[in-house]
């Protein structure tokens, strides 16, 4: 659990760290959309270059990145494997029962792998360089137009920021309870599937109970500090769009248009 | 069981840019059957040290010897089952580890895990519950229906039911009322003497340290700063201030008395000691006037 870096924050003060979280969120979404337009390898080279430059600008070493994503490798291999063996095509290179490797399968699998990697890299970069609260603020801003259709933007944003705030706290609590139960002879890592599932009970029940306790304490504390609901509140943290954010957005627009044009010509 | 730390280092998230030191070059010896206290500011590595005692954490360097079991960085998890049974660990706010439907089942949980039959485990659990002062009527209640203090007792009973040879207590009385604290601390001493346990207590209550401990370990920033008898540790008041450690309440009173002109050749740490040194001086004052 500790090895995976996806979803964690890496403290720093690089160019990427200082970008507006709204920009980073939008770019991430646009990047993912863009990936699905890429049908030819030059596009992947361009997208790959974008990722490498972004990682470089974030000041995080590429080695750390690769090591942190190693646990994801199995997921990627699994998907790629499925694509590879189960895509039927014209040029069959190898066949065994209903497993076959065809030219189309090979190409498809290559694309899937590239897409997977690019998406994981970009979204990991987002969480590594953006504090959870910034992400929550950015999301709140981005979904605020939904107010028109009576979507409870404030409530969702509040829930999101509380949830994010309590992730590390609940992680600590989990470790603590796990240790306490291990000290009482629970073995979380060995035994059959059923035995392991059973070993989770002494962890899950206390965790639930303590979540309920935390929730009721937190609500009392919020009400006593004058919280009524999200309407009509002022904000303490205010996001500021800087000129560098505009530049990055412009650069991204140029690159993506370039890529789309290239795709059309091929 | 004797416990020895030999040049133990522990690093959290080792081999990553987030690596943070937990313990640095810790050398310690806890003698079998003694009452030991570990003090130090928050974040000084006390809890990290405790988790080495039953190998919840395994040193990144050096070795920990518990009884005849040697724990080194290469030790595998499977070899530690026996160690876990011999070292009972009461964590901070242990009531958060309760999960069974009834109090009795929860206390019987550990002995069952360590190979006792259901009937034996229930019997041991009943004894442990009596020991911590939980009445038989409460045995079939849900743990979550109990009061905070009772839940704490049940959780502690859950650890005592393992019948450990070493009892490790991480601030066992935090958040309890004065009566509850007194009862718990007396209970631990009683059990220690009856079963000849090695007790290792982490606490911020210096009064408890001077009252019960035979050896005190002072920690700072993951290092052992000083070890010794309470008398040696609390003798040097400027040193204590320098390391932000509190004096026991008798020590604070002694300081005020010294300012009033009373003399003490050795800082008395317990109330009887204080009285013994104070009485002759008071008599002297009385005869002078």
The DSSP annotation for A45-77 comes to: HHHHHHHHHHHHHTT--HHHHHHHTGGGHHHHH
For residue B88, give Cα distances in angstroms to A188, B38, B208: 18, 16, 20
Of A61, A184, A206, the CB nearest to B96: A206
Q: How many residues are recorded in chain B?
A: 289
Residue A90 in tokens: 């014209």
Asked if the C-beta of A212 comes within 8 angstroms of chain B's C-beta atoms, the answer is no
Chain A CA closest to residue B51: A179
**Residues forming beta bridges with residue B66, ordered by sequence position:** B3, B69
Cβ pair A187:B17 closer than 8 A:
no
Interface of A with B in 30-69 (CB under 8 A): 61, 64
Tell me how close the Cα of A55 comes to any Cα of chain B, in angstroms: 16
A-B C-beta contacts closer than 8 Å: 64
Asked if the C-beta of A130 comes within 8 angstroms of chain B's C-beta atoms, the answer is no
Q: Which residues of A touch B16 (CB under 8 A)?
A: 64
Asked if the C-beta of A181 comes within 8 angstroms of chain B's C-beta atoms, the answer is yes
Q: Which residues of B touch A180 (CB under 8 A)?
A: 89, 91, 94, 96-97
Please give the sequence-ordered ranges of beta strands (E in DSSP) within chain B, or none if there are none. 3-12, 20-30, 35-39, 61-66, 69-71, 87-90, 166-170, 198-202, 215-220, 223-228
Q: Reduced to 3 states, what is the DSSP secondary structure of residue A87?
A: coil
pLDDT the model gives residue A161: 85
Cβ pair B54:A183 closer than 8 A:
yes
Of A179, A184, A187, the CB nearest to B162: A184
Q: Reduced to 3 states, what is the DSSP secondary structure of residue B239?
A: helix
pLDDT tens column, A199-218: 899 999 999 999 999 999 99
Cβ pair A183:B56 closer than 8 A:
yes
Of B84, B97, B109, the CB nearest to A206: B97
Asked if the C-beta of A187 comes within 8 angstroms of chain B's C-beta atoms, the answer is yes
pLDDT the model gives residue A149: 93
The DSSP annotation for B72-138 comes to: -TT--GGGGHHHHHHEEEE-SSGGGG--SSSHHHHHHHHHHHTT--HHHHHHHHHHHHHHTT--GGG
Of A173, A185, A202, the CB nearest to B114: A185
Single pTM value for the model: 0.76
> Whole-angstrom Cα distance, residue B10 to residue B222?
9
Nearest to A180 by CA among B168, B4, B35, B102: B168
CB B4 within 8 A of CB B28: yes
pLDDT the model gives residue A49: 93
Q: Which residues of chain A have pLDDT under 70?
A: 1-7, 88-91, 97-98
pLDDT tens column, A97-130: 667 777 778 888 888 888 988 998 898 888 888 8
Cβ pair A183:B87 closer than 8 A:
yes
Asked if the C-beta of A10 comes within 8 angstroms of chain B's C-beta atoms, the answer is yes
Q: Which residues of B touch A217 (CB under 8 A)?
A: none
> Whole-angstrom Cα distance, residue A254 to residue A263?
14
Of A61, A201, A210, the CB nearest to B96: A210
Tell me how close the Cα of B171 comes to any Cα of chain A, in angstroms: 14
pLDDT the model gives residue A1: 41
Local structure of residue A96 (DSSP, 8 states): E
Residue B110 CB coordination number (10 Å): 29
Cβ pair A202:B159 closer than 8 A:
no
> Whole-angstrom Cα distance, residue A180 to residue A206?
11
Cβ pair A185:B88 closer than 8 A:
no
Q: What value does the CA radius of gyration of chain B take, rounded to a whole number of Å?
A: 21
User: What ipTM does the predicted assembly reach?
Assistant: 0.83
- Which positions ≥6 away from B259 have C-beta within 8 Å? none
Q: Which residues of B touch A177 (CB under 8 A)?
A: 96-97
Q: Which residues of A touch B99 (CB under 8 A)?
A: 201-202, 205-206, 209
Nearest to B62 by CA among B144, B17, B4: B4
Q: Which residues of A touch B77 (CB under 8 A)?
A: 189-190
Chain B CA closest to residue A176: B91
pLDDT the model gives residue A164: 82
Q: Reduced to 3 states, what is the DSSP secondary structure of residue A144?
A: helix
Cβ pair A183:B98 closer than 8 A:
no
Nearest to B85 by CA among B154, B159, B32: B159
CB A90 within 8 A of CB A130: no
Going residue by residue through chain B, which has 289 residues, state the pLDDT in tens, using 9 for 90 and above: 889 999 999 998 777 667 788 899 999 999 999 999 999 988 899 989 999 998 888 999 999 999 888 999 988 877 888 888 899 999 988 998 999 999 999 999 999 988 889 999 999 999 999 988 899 999 999 998 998 889 999 999 999 999 899 999 999 988 888 888 898 999 999 999 988 999 999 998 898 999 899 999 999 999 999 999 998 888 888 888 888 888 888 888 888 888 888 888 777 888 888 888 888 888 887 777 6
């Amino acid at each position: 659990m500790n090895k995976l870096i996806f979803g964690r924050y890496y403290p720093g003060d690089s160019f990427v760290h200082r970008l507006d979280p709204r920009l980073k969120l939008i770019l991430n979404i646009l990047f993912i959309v863009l990936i699905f337009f890429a049908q030819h390898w030059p596009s992947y080279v361009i997208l790959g270059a974008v990722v490498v430059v972004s990682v470089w600008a974030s000041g995080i070493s590429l080695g750390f990145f690769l090591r942190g994503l190693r646990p994801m490798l199995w997921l990627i291999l699994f998907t790629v494997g499925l694509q590879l063996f189960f895509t039927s095509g014209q040029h069959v290179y190898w066949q065994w029962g209903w497993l076959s490797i065809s030219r189309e399968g090979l190409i498809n699998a290559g694309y899937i792998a590239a897409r997977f990697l690019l998406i994981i890299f970009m979204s990991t970069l987002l969480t590594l360089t953006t504090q959870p609260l910034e992400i929550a603020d950015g999301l709140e801003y981005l979904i605020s137009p939904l107010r028109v259709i009576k979507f409870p933007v404030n409530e969702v944003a509040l829930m999101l920021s509380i949830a994010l705030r309590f992730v590390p706290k609940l992680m600590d609590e989990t470790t603590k309870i796990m240790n306490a139960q291990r000290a009482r002879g629970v073995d979380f890592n060995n035994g059959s599937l059923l035995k392991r599932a059973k070993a989770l009970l002494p962890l899950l029940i206390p965790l639930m109970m303590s979540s309920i306790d935390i929730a009721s304490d937190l609500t009392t504390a919020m009400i006593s500090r004058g919280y009524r609901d999200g309407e009509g509140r002022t904000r303490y943290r205010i996001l500021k769009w800087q000129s560098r954010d505009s530049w990055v957005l412009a650069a991204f627009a140029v690159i993506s248009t370039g890529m789309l044009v290239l795709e059309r010509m091929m | 069981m004797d416990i020895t730390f030999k040049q133990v280092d522990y690093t959290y998230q080792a081999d990553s840019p987030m690596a943070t030191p937990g313990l640095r070059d810790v050398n310690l010896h806890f003698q079998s059957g003694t009452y030991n206290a570990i003090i130090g500011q928050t974040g000084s590595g006390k809890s990290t040290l405790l988790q080495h005692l039953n190998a919840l954490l395994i040193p990144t360097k050096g070795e920990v010897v518990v009884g005849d079991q040697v724990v080194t960085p290469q030790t595998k998890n499977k070899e530690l089952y026996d160690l876990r049974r011999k070292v009972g660990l009461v964590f901070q706010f242990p009531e958060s580890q309760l999960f069974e439907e009834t109090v009795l089942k929860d206390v019987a949980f550990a002995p069952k895990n360590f190979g006792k039959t259901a009937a034996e485990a229930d019997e041991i659990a009943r004894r442990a519950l009596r020991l911590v002062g939980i009445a038989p009527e409460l045995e079939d209640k849900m743990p979550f229906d109990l009061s905070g203090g009772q839940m704490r007792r049940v959780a502690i009973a859950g650890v005592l039911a393992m019948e450990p040879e070493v009892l490790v207590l991480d601030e066992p009385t935090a958040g309890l009322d004065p009566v509850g604290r007194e009862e718990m601390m007396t209970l631990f001493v009683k059990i220690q003497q009856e079963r000849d346990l090695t007790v290792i207590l982490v606490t911020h209550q210096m009064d408890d340290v001077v009252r019960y401990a035979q050896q005190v370990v002072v920690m700072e920033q993951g290092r052992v700063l000083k070890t010794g008898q309470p008398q040696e540790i609390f003798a040097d008041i400027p040193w204590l201030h320098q390391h932000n450690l509190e004096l026991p309440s008798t020590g604070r009173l002694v300081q005020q008395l010294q300012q009033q002109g009373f003399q003490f050749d050795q800082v008395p740490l317990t109330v009887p000691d204080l009285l013994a040194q104070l009485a002759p001086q008071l008599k002297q004052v009385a005869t002078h006037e």
